[in-house]
Amino acid sequence: MTPQSLFRPFVAFSRQFPLAANILRRLLLSFVLLWAVTVMIFIGVEALPGDFATTYLGQSATPEAVANIRSELGLDQPLLTRYVTWLGDAVSGDFGNSWASGQSVSEQIGKRLGNSLFLAFFAALVAVPLSVGLGLLAVRYRNRIPDKIINILSLAAVSLPEFFVGYLLIMVFVVTFPTAIFPSTVYDGMDFLTRLESIALPVATLVLVVLAHMMRMTRAAIIQVMSSAYMETAELKGLDGLRIIIKHAAPNALAPIINVVALNLAYLIVGVVVVEVVFVYPGMGQYMVDAVTVRDLPVVQACGLIFATIYIALNMTADILAIIANPRLRHPR
């Protein structure tokens, strides 16, 4: 049996069902990428400078005490053995216990991940419709005053790093004005409305960071569609400009818009580390930073794997939605 005959069924399936074949290909690539990421996370964390046993026991610890701690934690085993054991446990949802606190990493991550998703959800709830709406508005008034104002403000927002935006909001709304306006701390046990008030500033920071990118990509995608021949025909028929944009241009620009929205949603979850540290928010980012400072490897590895899984899953979803939105794959000849 030749290699060509092995791949012949796959080629035939791709030609007959291009939509399903492309989706299946994206799924397989995502799983391969996720496996590669697990290798990079494990090796990268292992390469971190310092040693947990020495950090935990102090510089005055005897070599015997350090060796006992390393043996108890399994650090004396070969690297490959530790990777296979860690990957097998992670697949089953068991990330072990924290070396620093002795608590279950899975339980701690369950609480922290819920806080991060809560923050990211409300940031996306504000950022996505606002960015798409501003993009449509910029196209409607292209090269006019509203479009220029939106572009200037978006460029300014892109130029500011999230930690600067966060500290600026804290200085204005917490230090300068009474703290009752926006609580500067978040803790477990808050009621829903108080929790919403407490995340107002972190949400505003995340929205300002991702808003400009989504808005500019929405604007660029719709403008590209507007330059096509059938859009010019619609304009010559005398249709209203806003109606042309919403009803005819926007649906045909869905693929790039979906991609940029999904990428920024992934950032809202994965890139909250800096924002959580600035606002001392009890989420995954703060948990990971605290673990890195004491070289708590199970926590760092678990957080890195979850962040990578979410990022890859959202990108895979964006690819699949973009494939489904492609009429040439939905209706093959």
Query: What is the structure's pLDDT at 36?
Result: 93
| Banded pLDDT at 186 (limits 50, 70, 90) | low
β partners of residue 104: 97
Q: What is the secondary structure of 12-71 as a DSSP string?
A: HHHHH-HHHHHHHHHHHHHHHHHHHHHHHHHHHHHTSSS-HHHHHH-TT--HHHHHHHHH
What would the pLDDT profile of 18-49 be if each residue is shown by its tens digit?
Answer: 677 778 888 889 899 999 999 998 888 777 76
Report the range of poorest mean pLDDT among 44-48, 124-128, 164-168, 249-253.
249-253
Of 122 and 240, more confident = 122
- The C-alpha atoms of residue 134 and residue 64 are separated, in whole angstroms, by 64
Please tell me the predicted confidence (pLDDT) of residue 33. Answer: 92
For 275-291, how does the pLDDT look when each residue is reduced to its tens digit (9 = 90+)?
888 888 888 888 888 88
Look at 125 and 100; give whichever has higher pLDDT.
125
Q: What is the mean pLDDT of residues 60-83?
A: 77
Residue 97, beta-bridge partner list: 104
CA-based nearest residue to 225, from 204, 192, 247 = 247
- How far is the C-alpha of 318 from the C-alpha of 26, rounded, in Å? 10
pTM attached to this predicted model: 0.77
- Rounded Cα gap, residues 73 and 86, in angstroms: 12
Instruction: Give the pLDDT of residue 24.
Output: 85
Distance, in Å, from the CA atom of 150 to the CA atom of 137, rounded to the nearest integer, reads: 9
Q: Which are the contacts of 89, defined by CB distance < 8 A and separation ≥ 6?
A: 95, 96
Q: Residue 8: what residue type?
A: R
Query: Residue 104 — φ and ψ, nearest 5°?
Result: -65, 125
**Residue that wins the pLDDT comparison between 332 and 90:** 90
Query: Which of helix, strand or coil describes residue 83?
Result: helix
Structure tokens at 310: 């979410």
Question: Torsions phi, psi of 268, nearest 5?
Answer: -60, -30
Instruction: Please give the share of the chain, as a percent, with pLDDT higher than 90.
Output: 3
Q: Give the per-residue pLDDT at 248.
A: 65
- Residue 92 is predicted with a pLDDT of 87
Distance CA 250, CA 243 (A): 10
Contacts of 214 (CB under 8 A, 6+ apart): 127, 128, 131, 132, 135, 260, 261, 264
* Confidence check: pLDDT of 238 > 80: no
Measured from the Cβ of residue 99, the count of other Cβ atoms closer than 10 Å reads 22
Q: CA-to-CA distance for 221 and 233, rounded, in angstroms?
A: 19
Domain ranges of the chain: 105-330
Q: Which of 230, 258, 257 is nearest to 314 (CA)?
A: 258
Extended beta strands in 42-153, E state: none
Residue 321 CB-density burial (10 A; 0-12 exposed, 13-18 middle, 19+ buried):
middle
Which pLDDT belongs to residue 58? 64
CATH no. of 105-330 = 1.10.3720.10
Question: Between residues 11 and 76, which one has the greater pLDDT?
Answer: 76
Q: How many residues does the chain have?
A: 333
Q: Is the pLDDT of residue 237 over 70?
A: no
